[in-house]
Amino acid sequence: MNKTILPFKYQGSIVANPSKSYLQRAVVCAVLAKENTDLLVEMPSDDVAAALRLLPVLGASFQNGIVTPTSSENRQVELILNVGESGLLLRLMSTIGMGFAKRLILHGEGTLLLRSIVSLVDQLRAIGLQVESNNGFLPIIIEGEITNSSLSVNASDSSQFLSGLLISLSQRPFDSVVNVSALSSEPYIDLTMAILNDFGVRIRHEDYKTFYIKGNQMMSLQKINIEGDWSGASNHLVGAAISGEITMKGLSINSNQADKKILKALEVFGAMVEVHEDKITVKQNEKRPFVFDATHCPDLFPPLAILACAAVGTSEIKGLHRLVNKESNRQLSIVKMLNVLGVNYRIVADSIFIEGKGKVHGGTIATYNDHRISMAGAIAACIASSEIIIDNIACVAKSYPNFFNDLEALGLID
């Protein structure tokens, strides 16, 4: 469904949507726990719903917000799991799922079927598992067991596989050491270890290069406090920084989520940022060009591109290599969005330089079914000279189903 958005200015207060990165990790940990976990989730995003749908297949249940884990410790002969469109869930379950079955078949839906899994196949084979794929795409068939106590992982493509491996190894009957090279998105490993710590699992590491995991660790957490999502909130925070003011509630300033770094970008940009215990307020102020390295927080690229458009001068955003294998080829999607908005840019090596003029043109933005492009395109209306048309607003359900509803509730859009 298309959405026409007239130029608007932020004003008001929004409660941050639940973090899907946090929730998906919490769901898989709850399946492995030794007791019930209270996981009350209202209107889950598509990715979180995909994780919840796995529970009965894994022998667990989810009723009235309570996850009841499986009581059986026997591995099935074969298990088929549908991870929806979630790349995170795919990589988590590629190792965690092997604790439930001797032969694991993973398949998905939508844009995930178009995303290469060659690096995942390589990672699984590197730790001793037998893997077949559909010429580098889903479905993927995994067999075998992780028998080595010392493993090596190349995490240059994504940290998600390492997150799943750390969770999985904590439940194995032996201690493990994982040597990691070229780790990307370090904050997401911090997030994984923080959630594991909440469940009573301890993992030690040396400079994110060597991880030490004790086996047979018992998971238990009776109630999960769900964090607000910095990724979705970043769009509102950027929108207010370029036009107006917003107060976001439900975000933890102590969060391990990578996209909390949006605050640093906003401060360099010149926005007024006020951080309180239970809320964060961002106000439009100066609009300075900035340099920002998004290598470890690539989901910030789309809203950062809009922030750069609002600056008066040339901004540099680093880390383009992280954008290719997302819901869309996100580098291409951002470039096409900039073309519609009438903004000049140049790409040099791993950086994009965006020549901001404080204003953009209106026009129709193609989302390529990418939730983050849809949200970023919407906030571009804050500095647009005419209406912005988003060609697909339904795709935001992947991470933030209420995004456009929240804008409507503030009276910003119809």
pLDDT bracket for residue 274 (50, 70, 90): very high
How would you classify the pairing of strands 312-318 and 351-357?
A: antiparallel
State how far the Cα of 253 lies from the Cα of 96, in Å rounded to an integer: 30
Residue 356 has pLDDT above 90, yes or no: yes
**73 neighbors 98 (Cβ within 8 angstroms):** no
**Residue among 126, 163, 131, 160 at smallest CA distance from 144:** 131
Least confident of 42-51, 373-382, 392-401: 42-51
How would you classify the pairing of strands 245-249 and 279-283?
A: antiparallel
State how far the Cα of 401 lies from the Cα of 366, in Å rounded to an integer: 19
**310 neighbors 356 (Cβ within 8 angstroms):** yes
**181 neighbors 208 (Cβ within 8 angstroms):** no
Residue 413 has pLDDT above 90, yes or no: no
CATH, domain range 3-17+228-409: 3.65.10.10
Top pLDDT among 175 and 74 is at 175
Top pLDDT among 318 and 44 is at 318
pLDDT bracket for residue 327 (50, 70, 90): confident
pLDDT bracket for residue 110 (50, 70, 90): very high
Same fold, 3-17+228-409 and 20-213: yes
Top pLDDT among 91 and 225 is at 91
Residue 40 has pLDDT above 80, yes or no: no
How would you classify the pairing of strands 312-318 and 76-82?
A: unpaired
Residue 325 has pLDDT above 80, yes or no: no
**391 neighbors 365 (Cβ within 8 angstroms):** yes
pLDDT at 91: 97
State how far the Cα of 325 lies from the Cα of 81, in Å rounded to an integer: 22
DSSP type of residue 225? -
Helices 262-269 and 301-310, axial angle in degrees (round to 10): 10
**Residue among 65, 62, 57 at smallest CA distance from 41:** 65
Which of these CATH numbers, 3.40.50.170, 3.65.10.10, 1.20.1440.130, 3.40.50.970, describes 20-213? 3.65.10.10
Per-domain boundaries in the chain: 3-17+228-409, 20-213
Residue 42 has pLDDT above 80, yes or no: no
State how far the Cα of 268 lies from the Cα of 298, in Å rounded to an integer: 18
Residue 414 has pLDDT above 80, yes or no: no
Task: Provide, rounded to the nearest whole percent, the portion of the chain with pLDDT above 90.
Answer: 89
Residue 131 has pLDDT above 90, yes or no: yes
Helix (H) or strand (E) run with residue 124 in it: helix 118-126
SS3 65: coil
Q: What is the CA radius of gyration of the chain?
A: 21
pLDDT at 328: 76
Is the bond leading into 139 cis (omega within 30 degrees of zero)?
yes
pLDDT bracket for residue 276 (50, 70, 90): confident
Average pLDDT over residues 60-64: 92
State how far the Cα of 396 lies from the Cα of 403, in Å rounded to an integer: 7
Q: Across all residues in the chain, what is the average pLDDT?
A: 95
State how far the Cα of 300 lies from the Cα of 303, in Å rounded to an integer: 6
Residue 174 has pLDDT above 90, yes or no: yes
Average pLDDT over residues 232-239: 98
SS3 120: helix
pLDDT at 217: 97
Q: Write phi, then psi, for 181 (nearest 5 degrees).
A: -115, 145
Average pLDDT over residues 78-82: 98
Top pLDDT among 97 and 226 is at 97
Average pLDDT over residues 237-263: 96
How would you classify the pairing of strands 245-249 and 13-15?
A: parallel
Residue 88 has pLDDT above 90, yes or no: yes
N-term to C-term CA, the chain = 14
Residue 72 has pLDDT above 80, yes or no: no
pLDDT bracket for residue 1 (50, 70, 90): confident
Task: Provide, rounded to the nearest whole percent, the portion of the chain with pLDDT above 70.
Answer: 100
